[in-house]
Amino acid sequence: MCPGIGASIKNSLSRYKNRPYRERNHRSGGKSRKAHVA
């Protein structure tokens, strides 16, 4: 994996964690985001 890819994944992960619980609880958003990262 390139360091750039790892950094972007880390950024999206921290952003996802920083989101409000209500948004994080959205099934479509959480599932699609996790699939994208994986």
Contacts 24+ apart (CB under 8 A), 11-15: 12/36, 12/37, 13/37
Structure confidence at residue 36 (pLDDT): 54
Give the global pTM. 0.30
CA neighbours closer than 13 Å in the CB half-sphere of residue 12: 14
Are 33 and 12 in contact by the 8 Å Cβ rule? The answer is yes
For 1-38, what is each residue's pLDDT tens digit? 566 777 887 877 776 666 655 555 555 555 555 555 55
